[in-house]
Amino acid sequence: MRVLVVEDEKKVAAFIKRGLEEEGYQVDAVHDGEEGVRLAQDQPYDLLILDVMLPNKDGLSVVRELRQAGTVMPVLMLTARDTTDDIVAGLDAGSDDYLTKPFAFAELSARVRALARRIGRDRGAELVVADLRMDPISRKVWRGDKEIELTIKEYGLLEFLMRNAGTVVTRNMIAEKVWEHSFESFTNIIDVYVNYVRKKVDKGFDRKLIHTVRGQGYTLKAE
């Protein structure tokens, strides 16, 4: 598995590179955003570890540019900022996970393994709930004849709800299955993202599919 590390603190980049190489990964490290974009587009990497604060091009701009160009490899964002708004900004830009500095290498390694498990998964046949359809192969979603544009994390959340249609899923379940984080650190973010997805899926439709179950969590079902 090939990993690209884009981190301007050279000691941190070397620390990550050395640790991952000891675990059997092939790792390249660069120290500015423009070089990171160039390498990520030119080379077949499986995972990108990306710092937010970078010279020449910041991490959010890097991941947006890569996603717009069609790059689908998982992105782990490194950030010194841990507010809900900062985390949501990174996820909205297209990252799959985040890790707050300073961090222990064991935690970074665990996040890398979790993201690696997603690579190459074939999630099977089309999912359908009422007039909501999801194609896991093309990663496209439609409500009736209308295609719904979703960010990567919004897609992951909706996929989890659709695969558990008719079942109440708790915030803890969403945190563990969609973000692979503890519930405590993702309480507000889960609610924010459910609201994002609800607006895209249900706005303008008489039949509402995403429902809040007071004191329990959320469910997706046709009523």
Q: Decide: 164 and 214 in contact? Cβ < 8 Å.
A: no
Q: Among the CATH numbers 1.20.970.10, 3.30.70.1060, 3.40.50.2300, 3.30.1050.10, which is that of 2-118?
A: 3.40.50.2300
| Backbone angles phi and psi of 5, in degrees to 5 | -110, 125
CATH topology of domain 127-220: Arc Repressor Mutant, subunit A (1.10.10)
**Residue 183 DSSP class:** G
pLDDT of residue 124: 58
DSSP annotation string for 85-107:
HHHHHHHHHT-SEEEESS--HHH
What is the rounded average pLDDT of the residues 208-220?
93
Q: Decide: 134 and 126 in contact? Cβ < 8 Å.
A: yes
Buried/exposed 127-142: b ≥16 CB within 10 Å, e otherwise: bebeebbbebeeeebe
Which two tokens mark 94? 């297209």
CA angle 115, 116, 121 (to 5 degrees): 100
pLDDT digits (tens, 9 = 90+) for 33-70: 999 999 998 887 889 999 999 999 999 999 999 988 87
pLDDT digits (tens, 9 = 90+) for 130-177: 999 998 877 889 999 999 999 888 998 999 999 888 889 998 888 887
CA angle 83, 154, 127 (to 5 degrees): 155
Instruction: State the average pLDDT for the chain.
Output: 87
Partners of 75 in the β-ladder: 48
What is the rounded average pLDDT of the residues 2-19?
94
Q: Between 212 and 116, name the one with better pLDDT.
A: 212
pLDDT digits (tens, 9 = 90+) for 14-37: 999 999 999 888 999 999 999 999
**Domain ranges (residues) in the chain:** 2-118, 127-220
pLDDT of residue 122: 44
Overall pTM surpassing 0.85 (yes/no): no
Tell me the C-alpha distance between 20 and 108, whole Å.
Answer: 9
Percent above pLDDT 70 for the chain: 92
Confidence of residue 211 (pLDDT cuts 50, 70, 90): very high
Tokens 């973010």 belong to residue: 189
**Residue 166 DSSP class:** T
